Structure 1
Amino acid sequence: MRPIKLSPPLPEKIAKALPKLSFLNRHIAIYIVGGWLRDKLRGKISPDLDLIIFNYPANKFAEKLARILRARIIKLDDFNQIYRLILIDKNNRQQIDISQAKGKNIKDDLARRDFSVNALALKIAPAGSSLIDFNNGVNDINRGIIRLISPQGFVADPVRMLRAFRFVAQLNYRLEKNTYQKIKKYARRIKESAAERITEEFCRILSSNHSAPIIELIYEAGLLEEIIPEVRTMKKSARRYYFHPRGLWQHTYQTLESLEYFLLKRKKMNFPEISPTELLALKLAALLHDVGKPLTRKVITGRVRFLGHEKYGEKLAGATLQSLRFSKQVIHLVQKLIRYHMRPINLSSSGAITARAAWRLYHDTGPAFPLLLLLALADCYSYRHLPVFQPEQFHQQLTTIHQLLNYYKKFTAPAQPKLVDGYLVMRKFNLSPGPMVGKILRMVAEAQATGKIRTTAEAIDYIRKKRII
């Protein structure tokens, strides 16, 4: 093992804390392991640190180091002795994970880790020390590959299969051939893992700006269909019923790919900011927006139709995401996007977009409105490499999306004062509290938003003319 020196050898906070760790003796060994070292060799600065400790209780060490660093301590896993220190200094957040070593020595501990690029260690010592690399991790970092250490690594922890793809996305590395073959071999075992852990890794993959090619690799390895069973149905769906040569999955993949293309351009297209939760829901909706198609295929007057596939898809997606323990917020947003994903394009084919039509769509979707526009646009653009794609038609669809986006900005501009309220409506029209009052207020709000009425007098007159009372 060739010694490698790091410069600086230790993170600043750990180096400053060393003189205060007087309770340590020659029998106690503490090592930095994993991602901080990997990123350091890549010329990156990681705010997070992983420490393992031999011959001393990890909980006591975590408590003492927390006092020295004035950090908050969190028990991640008291049984396995894993703790997290949270440091906040001048708005910078850093975390240090401390765990009891699992092997009898550092070589044994590193052999139990997932991939060679994460199986590096550096002993914390006043005199400094060299990087420890028993698994050729430095060479793999230089080559840019993710390689499994133990042949039984995926059997020991199947979530590592997803984590491998996450590192491919995060580090822009490639999978070593034998590691990829082992993922294909053990793909079915992913279901042995807790849903929460699967979801955490899957979400981290989707958070990448270019997750589509990674998702395609996961699909080709047979792993995606084990996580999302509907993918298996897409895979088996008859090719002749879909425009894409590889059937429904190819359309789904290219929808996600198109979505990420437009997400990178969204600022130039004047789309509003998207939160991490919205981004996750949007990408999940791209993956699941057509899962209802295989259940609704019918041939009507010689044409294949998928009438109502949005409603079936909404239910299927909800059940799948619930089984994966996604949050209710994400599930509801994904379902809403699937339920309405055809509406913007249907509006495009109906001619000019009226303020009323735009308001109705906004009323149904609320804050999800701009997300829905991006999904609809990606859905259309997924056909761009096929003979069926018509540039003129897509240009019209793009125009419709811009018109709807402009309406959204009008609808979400600083709120106009209400022209009428429930008390005024009940007094003017001699009504008791009830659903009719709410119906009238919604009708007035729509007319105000679309510019049909501007004053209270016009609102009262509008209600009379509608003759709903």
Structure 2
Amino acid sequence: MLINFTQNRNFKLFKTLSEVAENNNQSIYIVGGYVRDLLMKRKAPTDIDFVTEGNGMDLAKAVAKEINPKLKVSVFKNYGTAMFKHEGLDLEFVGARKESYAENSRKPSVEIGTLEDDQKRRDFTINALAISLNKDSFGELIDPFNGISDIQNKIIRTPLEPSQTYSDDPLRMMRAIRFASTLNFKIEEHSLRAIQKEAERIKIVSMERIMVEFNKIMLSEKPSTGLKLLEETGLLPLIIPELTALRGIEEVEGQTHKDNFWHTLEVVDNISENTENLWLRWAALLHDIGKAPTKKFVEGTGWTFHGHEFLGSKMVKSLFYRLKLPMGSDMKYVQKMVKLSSRPIALIDDGTSDSALRRLLFDSGDDLEDLFTLCKADITTKNTSKQQKFKKNFEYVAQKIKEVEEKDQVRNFQPPISGEEIMTLFNLKPGREIGILKEKVKEAILEGEIENDKDQARNFVIKEAEILGLTPG
């Protein structure tokens, strides 16, 4: 099969590479994801990998010199690779190689090999495709493992025996599931069984590498595809046991509760239809993790999960730390979303006070819309009339909150009287009294005792200060 590159935006670049390789007496091939995506007519990736049966570092330097002598080439001698950037592309060159693995490491022993050897070491048949840029076979597709057929049939398959492939480099198990999720492919049966067999090997992979793949699953169009495969293969309980702890339905005295694991996957899919925000999707994934440790059967009441949002938000921190996820603002955002995830539901009532609405506004700040997106995604009932009723109720609460916000301005609340002003007013030095008075002002505004107004706040502080034995200086 011949690939016609004449209409490809990189045609001129590929011809230059072909000429340089010819002059260097080296072979050159495009390999990996660029070939796969080209054949699938997907948006072309900006990184292109090239293999040569020779020294990849020498070829990279020669190509860069031909394109622009000022181009900076990054060389990685340990890996035998070199790369440089050109017109928004990341071009990487490597010498064809054979690989062998030690049992307790995913770092291979490498020796010089042929293109065929290099294709054999690839993770999946759809990534083992190569296109020749050599002068006498320019554009020829080299497909030793029927990768084209697997693309057409939407199948993830390893070029060699799957158990050995996954045992050698266990990260490939995550990659198989990631490709199944992002490309909407199926993992071939033998390969799927091999992942189940080798699942424990994932423990030798760094959590950072695992999370790169996991987050790509989370950002796929329908994350549950990958999450179900992670659960089915036994990888998920090794990575996030807090999630698989939600599986199952218990029955006591004829009363059951829903399976919170499968419910969670529905919520993640629902929210993914409305946002590409990775951390909001994580909030959906973790919004019920506090339910397993708080689950309790109460006589006369049934199953309860009292305080699961509060406990779940506390669990987020240790979970992010263990998973090597960002511990700064992203983690705090997920914590906030999990903690507040049930609050709007409690406000769906004609008798809801403005105070409760003000507190939700105060606690959610700029993330209120994201919180409502999460709450709507949490509606997983299959009853259409119930679904419409819940969504209508949320719109009602959103309107009430908008009215309160316009009136009281408590979103991203800033006290109408500052700590410095209080110190000046009572001739005080910094101390606990200042914090007490500022907190009292905040509570008074949230409870509706005073308006969010400077004069009212000042008068309120003077009155409250008397209780503390303070008088204006």
TM superposition score normalised by structure 2: 0.81
| Divergent runs of 4+, >6 A | 405-418, 445-451
RMSD: 3.5
Paired residues of 1:353 and 1:403 also in contact (CA < 8 A):
no
**Residue 125 (1) aligns with residue 124 (2):** no
Count of paired positions: 441
- Letter of the 1:336 partner, please give it: K
Paired residues of 2:405 and 2:411 also in contact (CA < 8 A):
no
- Letter of the 1:429 partner, please give it: F
Shifted more, 417-426 versus 324-333: the winner is 417-426
Pairwise mapping of residues 207-246 of structure 1 onto structure 2 (< 5 A)?
Answer: 207-235=219-247, 238=250, 243-244=257-258
The answer for the alignment partner of 1:42 in structure 2 is: 40
CA apart distance, 1:455 = 5.2
Pairwise mapping of residues 335-414 of structure 1 onto structure 2 (< 5 A)?
Answer: 335-348=335-348, 351-352=351-352, 354=354, 356-379=355-378, 381-382=379-380, 384-385=381-382, 392-393=389-390, 395-401=392-398, 403-404=400-401
Looking at structure 2, the residues matched to 409 and 81 of structure 1 have their Cα atoms a distance apart, in angstroms, of 62
CA apart distance, 1:117 = 0.8
CA apart distance, 1:145 = 1.9
1:219 to 1:414, Cα distance in 2 relative to 1, 3 A = closer
The answer for the alignment partner of 2:266 in structure 1 is: 254
CA apart distance, 1:236 = 5.1
Instruction: For structure 1, list consecutive stretches of 5 or more residues without a partner in the other structure.
Output: 265-275
2:428 pairs with one of 431, 438, 458: 431
Looking at structure 2, the residues matched to 182 and 350 of structure 1 have their Cα atoms a distance apart, in angstroms, of 56
Looking at structure 2, the residues matched to 96 and 188 of structure 1 have their Cα atoms a distance apart, in angstroms, of 35
- Letter of the 2:333 partner, please give it: L
Task: Tell me the SS of whatever aligns to 1:328.
Answer: coil
Deviations 1:306-347 (A, max 9, x none): 122223323433323322211113333322322232222223
Task: Tell me the SS of whatever aligns to 1:96.
Answer: strand
Looking at structure 2, the residues matched to 409 and 119 of structure 1 have their Cα atoms a distance apart, in angstroms, of 59
CA apart distance, 1:292 = 2.1
- Letter of the 1:217 partner, please give it: L
The answer for the alignment partner of 1:29 in structure 2 is: 27
1:146 to 1:441, Cα distance in 2 relative to 1, 3 A = same
Shifted more, 198-207 versus 429-438: the winner is 429-438
Pairwise mapping of residues 283-322 of structure 1 onto structure 2 (< 5 A)?
Answer: 283-303=281-301, 304-322=303-321
Paired residues of 1:322 and 1:331 also in contact (CA < 8 A):
no
Looking at structure 1, the residues matched to 402 and 210 of structure 2 have their Cα atoms a distance apart, in angstroms, of 35
**Residue 108 (1) aligns with residue 105 (2):** no
Paired residues of 2:50 and 2:93 also in contact (CA < 8 A):
yes
Looking at structure 2, the residues matched to 412 and 109 of structure 1 have their Cα atoms a distance apart, in angstroms, of 63
1:121 to 1:231, Cα distance in 2 relative to 1, 3 A = same
1:82 to 1:228, Cα distance in 2 relative to 1, 3 A = farther
Paired residues of 1:80 and 1:100 also in contact (CA < 8 A):
no
The answer for the alignment partner of 1:53 in structure 2 is: 52
CA apart distance, 1:20 = 7.0
Looking at structure 2, the residues matched to 29 and 408 of structure 1 have their Cα atoms a distance apart, in angstroms, of 67
- Letter of the 1:462 partner, please give it: F
Task: Tell me the SS of whatever aligns to 1:400.
Answer: helix
1:450 to 1:310, Cα distance in 2 relative to 1, 3 A = closer
- Letter of the 1:105 partner, please give it: T
The answer for the alignment partner of 1:334 in structure 2 is: 334
Instruction: For structure 2, list consecutive stretches of 5 or more residues without a partner in the other structure.
Output: 99-112, 469-473
Shifted more, 14-23 versus 324-333: the winner is 14-23
- Letter of the 1:55 partner, please give it: G
Shifted more, 334-343 versus 454-463: the winner is 454-463
Paired residues of 1:34 and 1:50 also in contact (CA < 8 A):
yes
Deviations 1:142-200 (A, max 9, x none): 22222221212111111112211222232232322332232223223222211111100
CA apart distance, 1:140 = 1.5
Task: Tell me the SS of whatever aligns to 2:313.
Answer: helix
- Letter of the 2:338 partner, please give it: I
Paired residues of 2:415 and 2:441 also in contact (CA < 8 A):
no
**Residue 153 (1) aligns with residue 165 (2):** yes
Task: Tell me the SS of whatever aligns to 2:158.
Answer: coil
Paired residues of 1:284 and 1:334 also in contact (CA < 8 A):
yes
- Letter of the 1:118 partner, please give it: N
Deviations 1:183-230 (A, max 9, x none): 223223222211111100000111123212332233223222222112
Deviations 1:56-77 (A, max 9, x none): 2x334334434435555445x5
1:408 to 1:94, Cα distance in 2 relative to 1, 3 A = farther
CA apart distance, 1:24 = 4.1
1:144 to 1:284, Cα distance in 2 relative to 1, 3 A = same
Looking at structure 2, the residues matched to 78 and 359 of structure 1 have their Cα atoms a distance apart, in angstroms, of 60
**Residue 95 (1) aligns with residue 90 (2):** yes
- Letter of the 1:319 partner, please give it: S
The answer for the alignment partner of 1:269 in structure 2 is: none
Paired residues of 2:129 and 2:143 also in contact (CA < 8 A):
yes
Task: Tell me the SS of whatever aligns to 1:299.
Answer: strand
